[in-house]
Amino acid sequence: MPSKIVKIRENLYVNSIFIDKIGLSFNQFIVVSKDEKITLIETGFRNDFAALAENITSIGLNPENINNVIVPHFEADEMGALPEILNVSKQKVKVYAHPICTFGLNDIFNARAKPVKDNEIISIFEGCSLKFIYTQHVHQWDSLVVYWIEQKILFSSDLFIQKGEFTGINSENCITEIIASIHKDNYLPSHNHLNHALDKIKENKIDIIFPMHGSGLSNHIDLYIDSLKELTF
Ligand SMILES: [Fe+2]
Ligand SMILES: [Fe+2]
């Protein structure tokens, strides 16, 4: 499986694994503090953890220093590698998720995950305050997205996804690809839930969106949000 790690900012990397057969990339986001501790948003699949750890090592960081893990919902690509992380890390790993998700993570992995509240802001380190925004039923009942306040970056999990490899931050208009992906996989629920989530997301000033599948998005953020609100299923 081809995988790569891409530097986005001094303290932000994207690890991406592309699965040819389904034409989809799976992204994990690596936020690095000054003392080189790692906050991982999305774990990726359990079977892909070796590649993720290798890529983290290749940029001079150490998987043993993963000290925070954020799980946007209870699904294999979002939390599957958690037991491997708990095993490899030498830190007291804090796991953050929606209460329904933490219940599952604690029961299955003994993860001691911490439930976050809707719109709760947690300071990870100076310059990294993360706001957890519930997006229930989009597309799971424990779904949330994560907004990095200082960087105006939204880690949108399964919202705004596109087929194809991760190619960095795409400033072109990708709305056709985003909508095609929603229709093809039919993974989004009722308009009410989706619109409610989009309204909550829109309250934040967003410069970049990083979905967990496909490339980062910039320049057309309002258009993306408004277009999904007008979608018909
Ligand atoms: Fe998902
Ligand atoms: Fe996903």
Helices (H), 16-159: 49-58, 76-79, 82-88, 99-109
Q: pLDDT at position 185, please?
A: 84
174: domain CATH number?
Answer: 3.60.15.10
Q: What's the domain range around 61?
A: 3-229
pLDDT value at residue 208: 98
102 contacts 113 by C-beta, under 8 angstroms: yes
pLDDT band per the 50, 70, 90 thresholds, residue 173 = very high
CA 77–ligand 2 middle distance (angstroms) = 6
User: At residue 25, does pLDDT exceed 80?
Assistant: yes
Question: Which ligand does the CA of 144 lie closest to?
Answer: 1
CA of 209 to the centre of ligand 2 (A): 15
Q: How confident is the model at residue 129 (pLDDT cuts 50, 70, 90)?
A: very high
pLDDT for residue 191 is more than 90: no
From the CA of 142, which ligand is nearest? 1
* CA 123 to ligand 1 centroid distance, Å: 25
Give yes or no for a contact between 85 and 43, defined as CB atoms under 8 angstroms apart. yes
Average pLDDT over residues 147-158: 98
Contact in structure between 96 and 116 (CB atoms under 8 Å)? yes
**Neighbouring residues of 126: CB distance < 8 A, sequence distance ≥ 6:** 34
Alpha carbon of 62 to ligand 1 centroid (Å): 27
pLDDT over threshold 80, residue 232: no
CA-to-CA separations, 85 to 63, 80, 98, 176, in angstroms, rounded: 8, 10, 19, 36
Residue 76, pLDDT above cutoff 90 = yes
Alpha helices in the chain (DSSP H): 49-58, 76-79, 82-88, 99-109, 175-185, 191-202, 221-229
pLDDT top residue among 230 and 187: 230
Section 22-49 average pLDDT: 98
Report the separation in Å between the CA atom of 213 and the middle of ligand 2, taken as the mean of its atom positions: 6
- Ligand nearest, relative to CA of residue 187: 1
The structural domain count of the chain equals 1
Residue 53 alpha carbon to ligand 1 centre in Å:
22
CA of 156 to the centre of ligand 1 (A): 11
Q: Determine the Cα–Cα distance for residues 77 and 227; give it in Å rounded to an integer.
A: 26
> How far does the centroid of ligand 2 lie from the alpha carbon of residue 212, in Å?
6
69 in Cβ contact with 35 (< 8 Å)? no
Q: Ligand 1 centroid vs 54 CA: distance in angstroms?
A: 24
> Across residues 85-89, what is the average pLDDT?
98
pLDDT (0 to 100) of residue 90: 98
Question: What number is the average pLDDT over the span 27-51?
Answer: 98
Estimate the crossing angle of helix 221-229 against helix 191-202, to 10 degrees.
Answer: 160
Q: What is the mean pLDDT of residues 21-41?
A: 98
